[in-house]
Amino acid sequence: MARNGKLATDLVQKLERDIVTGVLKPGDKLDERSLSERFGVSRTPVREALQTLAGSGLVATMPRRGTIVASITVADLIEMFEVMAELEAMCARLAARRMARVDVEKLLALGGECDKLQEHADADAYYEANVNFHEVIYAGCRNSFLERQTKNVRNRLAPYRRLQLHRPGRVKKSNAEHAGILEAISTGDAERAAKLMHQHVAVQGEALNDLLAIVPRGYLEPLAS
Amino acid sequence: MARNGKLATDLVQKLERDIVTGVLKPGDKLDERSLSERFGVSRTPVREALQTLAGSGLVATMPRRGTIVASITVADLIEMFEVMAELEAMCARLAARRMARVDVEKLLALGGECDKLQEHADADAYYEANVNFHEVIYAGCRNSFLERQTKNVRNRLAPYRRLQLHRPGRVKKSNAEHAGILEAISTGDAERAAKLMHQHVAVQGEALNDLLAIVPRGYLEPLAS
DNA sequence: TAGACATTTCTGGTATACAAAAACTCGTGG
DNA sequence: CCACGAGTTTTTGTATACCAGAAATGTCTA
């Protein structure tokens, strides 16, 4: 999609990883000068990288006031989860209809892996496997545009989703939901797959309260932007 | 969202308008130097503007080979319409549940306007009113993230959607479909609104063949990218 | 005449220099 | 002690200069 020079592209990837994996947290300031010396390039590619990231929404830049890792309002968070649920549901629906047999096998294997990790209660390892599970479904929808779109929203929500898994019981529940989705997809029940995925991803009711309660201060903007 | 300097922001808006309204067509080359002298600025803001547009997918830039107005493959077109239908359906579903009474009134008024213009068979004027109709529904979903996301995809499809309305009978059919959607939303029938909107936007079967038949050469990439 | 190789030219990628605006500091006055 | 303001500093936005890679062109040879 957005291909800039080689240096800038590298920076985009590195910064993106740092943001998605939580090394850089929402609200962190991204100073052009520091970044440029840290990576040993001039400010130009740094600016281009920030520009690209701003386009995908991972960072926010205010004119003449610099750029920070995007932090969102509570309203934004709710809205984005609402859209995320729909996008993932669509992926699941299409995957149930279109996924090749070999990919279903792969998905089954990943489901098993999640099962194992879930028992060991290693939240971070489970998170990895969980990401893989979902990505195989994204790919299974056979709509690369939808796949990109979904991944983009997921990346933007990553800092907040990550928090959820550290809650006791969440991993086990998540894994149980995977089983249902897996079954629906492997039997080709598109609507059921969509419905289950929607429920799996949506954050509503008490789950929303729980999430908001554990979001560290600074991850969310005050109402006055 | 992506705020850069003032000059760059202006350029983004101007270029975006030119692309969406069809002044610049898919495949057109966007030479940095020409643009910079045409707008009387240096190459830097031009590059930043192109960068931003590349982020939203309206232009494509290949390293060392310059940037062009994004042209997509047939597969991309199909994929994007598939997602577009789902996003607009979601907007309609939420709008049916959430729209304030006064906004429903506005929508009814716009529906009437479309009716009038449809009778005069002025495709361009109808296109305008049609855009407004849809935008009121976007706003009615009360999810600004979804609204932005939907508008973004719509903009990317604009060059291709525009073509459809110049087909005989399409305007009348489109307008009839609006009536159904309008009715579903004003009576709060969310699922019906979603379903009708999905059908309204989706391009499938013969409609897809028709669209592909009238897309000018150059609007679509050959398979070998 | 056709094809391949070399050269040239053009365009994009990067670095640096300069200008302008915001943030910070420090001092003064209430 | 706090508030306010002028001057300094920091940081972003823009312009320009330089470099490198790719396409185009021209020439030489088979």
Task: Note whether residue A121 is domain-resident.
Answer: yes
B97 contacts in A (CB within 8 Å)? none
Last residue of a domain, one of A17, A44, A69: A69
Query: What pLDDT is attached to residue B108?
Result: 93
State the count of interchain CB pairs (< 8 A) between A and B. Answer: 93
pLDDT at B4 over 80: no
Question: Token pair for residue A140?
Answer: 């299974």
Task: Note whether residue A219 is domain-resident.
Answer: no
Residues B34 and B129 in one domain: no
Residue B183 maps to which CATH number? Answer: 1.20.120.530
Query: CB of B137 within 8 A of CB of B92?
Result: yes
* pLDDT tens per residue across span B168-220: 888 889 999 999 999 999 999 999 999 999 999 999 888 899 999 998 877 88
Residues B48 and B141 in one domain: no
* pLDDT tens per residue across span B10-69: 899 999 999 999 999 999 999 999 999 999 999 999 999 999 999 889 999 998 889 999
* pLDDT tens per residue across span A46-69: 999 999 999 899 999 998 889 999
Residue B44 maps to which CATH number? Answer: 1.10.10.10
Averaged pLDDT, A86-108? 96
Mean predicted lDDT score pLDDT of chain B: 90
Boundaries of domain holding B63: 6-69
Q: How far is the CA of A64 from the C1' of D6 (A)?
A: 22
- How many Cβ atoms are within 10 Å of A176's Cβ, its own excluded? 12
Q: Is A188 exposed, middle or buried (0-12, 13-18, 19+ CB in 10 A)?
A: middle
Residues B36 and B92 in one domain: no
How far, CA to CA in Å, does A196 sit from each of A126, A149, A171, A182, B177?
20, 20, 16, 10, 31
Averaged pLDDT, A158-174? 86
Q: How far is the CA of B31 from the C1' of C8 (A)?
A: 20
A2 contacts in B (CB within 8 Å)? 51, 54-55, 61
Instruction: Give me the sheet containing B66-69, strands edge to edge.
Output: B29-30, B66-69, B59-62
Query: What pLDDT is attached to residue A19?
Result: 94
Residues A90 and A182 in one domain: yes
Residues B80 and B177 in one domain: yes
Residues B64 and B79 in one domain: no
Residues B40 and B18 in one domain: yes
Query: CB of A80 within 8 A of CB of A158?
Result: no
- Identity of the residue in B3, B145, B146 whose CB atom sits nearest the CB atom of A62: B3
Query: What pLDDT is attached to residue A30?
Result: 94
- Tell me the nearest-neighbour CA distance from A119 into chain B, angstroms: 37
Query: What pLDDT is attached to residue B3?
Result: 53
Q: Does A90 touch chain B (CB under 8 A)?
A: yes
Averaged pLDDT, A107-118? 88
3-state secondary structure of B141: coil
Residues B52 and B101 in one domain: no
Minimal Cα distance from B64: which residue of A? A5
Task: Note whether residue A10 is domain-resident.
Answer: yes
Task: Note whether residue A1 is domain-resident.
Answer: no
* pLDDT tens per residue across span B69-96: 998 999 999 999 999 999 999 999 999 9
Task: Note whether residue B35 is domain-resident.
Answer: yes
Residues A130 and A186 in one domain: yes
pLDDT at B137 over 80: yes
HSE at residue B3, side-chain half, CA atoms within 13 A, is: 12
Q: How far is the CA of B225 from the C1' of C5 (A)?
A: 27
How far, CA to CA in Å, does B138 sit from each of A119, A205, B92?
44, 25, 7
Task: Note whether residue B55 is domain-resident.
Answer: yes
pLDDT at A224 over 80: no
Task: Note whether residue A220 is domain-resident.
Answer: no
| B79/A146 Cβ within 8 A | yes
Nearest partner of B58 among B29, B15, B91, B4, judged by Cα: B15
Query: What pLDDT is attached to residue B119?
Result: 80
Residues A135 and A194 in one domain: yes
Last residue of a domain, one of A46, A69, A92: A69
Which residue of B7, B11, B83, B94 is the best one to mutate when testing the A interface, meaning the one whose CB has the most A CBs within 10 A? B83
Structural domain total, chain A: 2
Which residue of A62, A74, A78, A79 is the best one to mutate when testing the B interface, meaning the one whose CB has the most B CBs within 10 A? A79
Higher pLDDT, A217 or A95: A95
Non-local CB neighbours of A163 within 8 Å, separated by 6+ positions: A211, A214, A215
Residues B100 and B22 in one domain: no
**Whether ipTM exceeds 0.95:** no
Task: Note whether residue B170 is domain-resident.
Answer: yes
3-state secondary structure of B148: helix
- How many Cβ atoms are within 10 Å of B102's Cβ, its own excluded? 8
B56 contacts in A (CB within 8 Å)? 55
CA B176 to chain centroid, in Å, comes to: 20
Minimal Cα distance from A57: which residue of B? B1
Last residue of a domain, one of B14, B43, B69: B69
Residues B45 and B78 in one domain: no
Non-local CB neighbours of A92 within 8 Å, separated by 6+ positions: A137, A141, A181, A184, A185, A190, A193, A194, A196, A197
Question: Phi first, then psi: what are they for B87, rounded to 5°?
Answer: -65, -45
Q: Kindly report which listed range (A121-125, A184-188, A206-210) carries the lowest average pLDDT score.
A: A121-125
Nearest partner of B59 among B93, B25, B34, B91, judged by Cα: B25
